[in-house]
Amino acid sequence: MRIRPRRRVAVRPLRRALTASVAVVLVVPAYGCRPTLTPPGAPTAWPAAQARHWQWQLTGPLDPAVDADVFLLDPVATTAAQTAELRSRDRRLICQVNVGSVRSTDPDASRFPEAVRGSAGHRPDSRWLDVRSWDALRPVLADRFRLCRGKGFGAVALVDADGYAARTGFPLDFDDQLLFNRRLAELARSLSLSPGLVNDVPQVAALAPDFDFAVNEECVRLAQCAKLLPFSDAGKPVFHVEYTGSTDDFCVTTVGYGFASIRKDRTLDASREACPLP
């Protein structure tokens, strides 16, 4: 009887296919499980419809259970473990970065040359920076952004980006600030972070195309809310806070504008009172 030779099985291709299949199974979660988290460093989209509840906390123990979709936090005080917990709850994280001033207690304060330090800033023990000195400021600010990305933040909110309107000790003008802020937005995007503008209301109309969202303090008290409409009209979130007054009074205005509004103490601890959504 003639015995037919056995056919060789392509073991290696099959093994590679199985390995790839296992990898796909491990990477792609099953439907109905917790949503896949955006990995640290990836850009965070900001559709206004999905960013209506927010929290801004800079002092006190972090409360991850706050009923908010978006958390604006201090990157130095917030640990990677805390951001990981928030991300496990599918929260969007914004990193607060002071870009126009420096405090003597900042971990990187020594990296700012004395020549770029000006008059006393808004924050205690802070000094304004000469935003015209981009070559001196860029490396330090880039590392501040990288710290945010490394801790899992998807966006940066730029604080003290309006020095031109203050007594900084430098002859800064409107155009100097515009150029600096646009450079910051471009730098953030180059590091896969979504840029957000904090206050700087007079420049909102010019800068809204360059930024993904706005953070505003007290536009109701200061009668400036209408000036933030370039963001909301473009479908970009406006995260707004008032420190005085009742939500029964100011929410009527800000929710009508499409803002995500809350009332907080100026200490910016965990307590908050959010405007009801329509």
Tokens at 156, concatenated: 């940066």
Contact status, residue 133 vs residue 183, Cβ threshold 8 Å: no
Question: Residue 92: which H helix or E strand, with range?
Answer: strand 92-98
| Range of weakest confidence among 51-60, 154-163, 172-181 | 51-60
Tens digits of residue pLDDT in 166-221:
999 999 999 999 999 999 999 999 999 999 999 999 999 999 999 999 999 999 99
Maximum alpha-carbon separation in the chain = 103
Alpha-carbon dihedral of residues 128, 129, 130, 133, nearest 10 degrees? Answer: 180
Q: What is the pLDDT of residue 9?
A: 42
Q: Phi-psi category of 214—alpha, beta or left, where left has phi over 0 and alpha has psi -120 to 50?
A: beta
Rounded to an integer, the average pLDDT of 237-248 is: 95
Contact status, residue 100 vs residue 129, Cβ threshold 8 Å: yes
Q: What is the pLDDT of residue 12?
A: 46
Amino acid letter, 185: A
How many Cβ atoms from other residues are within 10 Å of residue 229's Cβ?
16
Residue 237 CB partners (closer than 8 Å, separation 6+): 46, 48, 51, 70, 213, 214, 231, 260
Please state the pTM of the whole predicted model.
Answer: 0.84
pLDDT for residue 106 is more than 50:
yes
- How does residue 102 score in pLDDT terms, banded at 50, 70 and 90? very high
- How does residue 20 score in pLDDT terms, banded at 50, 70 and 90? very low
Q: Sheet containing 126-129: give its strands across.
A: 101-103, 126-129, 117-120
Q: Sheet containing 260-263: give its strands across.
A: 54-57, 70-73, 92-98, 155-159, 194-198, 213-217, 238-242, 260-263, 273-274
How far apart, in whole angstroms, are the C-alpha atoms of residue 15 and residue 17?
5
Residue 39 CB partners (closer than 8 Å, separation 6+): none
pLDDT for residue 51 is more than 60:
yes
Tens digits of residue pLDDT in 27-42:
333 333 444 555 555 5
SS3 216: strand
pLDDT for residue 228 is more than 70:
yes
